[in-house]
Amino acid sequence: MIKFSILSVLALVTLSACGTITDVKQQTANHIARPAFMVERTIPAGMFGIEAWERMHQRGTSASIYIEGDSLSDLTNESIDKTGLFGFQSTPANPVGLELASRDKSKNVAYLARPCQYLKMPNEKGCDPKYWKANRFDPEVIEAYNIALDDIAARWDITEFHIVGYAGGANIAAVLAATRKDIKTLRTVAGDLNPNFADAHNPAPVASSAVLATHYARELANVPQHHFIGAADDKVTPGTYHSYRQALGLSDCVHYSLIQDADHTRGWTAKWPSLLQVVPQCATVHELDGDLPLLKDFPGNYNKGKGFSK
């Protein structure tokens, strides 16, 4: 009779579950992307492979780019981390960034996952577990997105980008907006725009080597941007935005909306087409869609039907 040790059995069960979880998350992503005619490909990006879903219908014009969040609810599960096998489950079970991208009716739309998300063999793509934990904003991660955007621009003859970052993807989107000349607007949703501030609420702090949006306060102050904040978000609280906004100083380009019935993951997808109508711009008074909530809990003067001033 063949005898299996407990460790051997656990390893087999773990590997089986790992594949099952990965397949389910891949199927979820495809279920979201395919009805929006978004096609999957892996973009070689420095030491990583970035998984992308794209719908590109018009060359020689702009594209909307969406960057996924950290999936920190998965990252901070110590029982998973200790196996050493589930690390690449940084892949989100609920890819909010992809949901948002699928609702964008622009001619050209691309969704970019985070390093190691959705990859079948992540260890072959530079996926050290540190890159979805403390080192998730390190220079090599930022460089991977620069390479990915350059690839998209060359492949589809894209002239400029409108970039959207969800959760931790907001920090990456903001850094790219500050450091690239081809990004015209920045939007964030439930955005972790200052991970150092969020550490008070977040058990997955960033390394000292992290490249943060607040490092580029002067450059970002001149980027047209709009930030959508969930009033019920207990993972990235409204205070995170305010710490970012304070770092930028005086600017007519930085605006926000507080969405009363949204938390970190829920309340965004159905609203996104109407929220997209709020165009980031540099203006003292920003025109808001009439369906957006009053910002009574935040600084600034709000005029119903006209918007708010900072």
For position 124, what pLDDT does the model report? 60
Residue 70 · residue 64 · CB < 8 Å: no
The residue whose two tokens read 């949006």 is 213
Note the pLDDT of residue 197. 86
Cα angle vertex 42, ends 40, 45, to 5°? 145
pLDDT number for residue 293:
39
Nearest partner of 271 among 281, 286, 258, judged by Cα: 258
206: DSSP letter: P
How far apart are the C-alpha atoms of 65 and 55, rounded to whole Å?
11
pLDDT of residue 174: 98
Q: Report domain extents, the chain.
A: 28-282
10-residue averages of pLDDT along the chain (310 residues): 41 45 85 96 94 97 96 48 48 94 98 90 71 92 98 98 97 98 98 84 80 97 98 92 96 96 96 97 59 36 33
Non-local (6+) Cβ contacts of 188 within 8 A are 164, 165, 166, 170, 173, 174, 225, 227, 228
CB 79, CB 45: distance < 8 Å:
no
**Residue in 191, 256, 181, 189 with CA at minimum distance from that of residue 219:** 181
What's the per-residue H, E or C state across 109-157?
EEEECCCCCCCCCHHHHCCCHHHHCCCCCCHHHHHHHHHHHHHHHHHHC
What is the spatial distance between Cα 283 and Cα 302, in angstroms, rounded to a whole number?
Answer: 14
How distant, in Å, are the alpha carbons of 108, 196, 223, 227, 279 from that of 60? 10, 38, 22, 28, 21
Q: Which CATH class is domain 28-282?
A: alpha beta
Amino acid identity of residue 31, one-letter, is H
- 84: region left, alpha or beta (phi > 0 left; psi from -120 to 50 alpha): left
pLDDT of 116 reads: 85
3-state helix, strand, coil in the chain (%, to 5): 35, 20, 45
Residue 131 carries which side chain, given as an amino acid letter? Y
**pLDDT given at position 18:** 47
**Distance (Å, rounded) from C-alpha 17 to C-alpha 15?**
5
Retrieve residue 79's tokens.
């029982």
pLDDT the model gives residue 127: 82
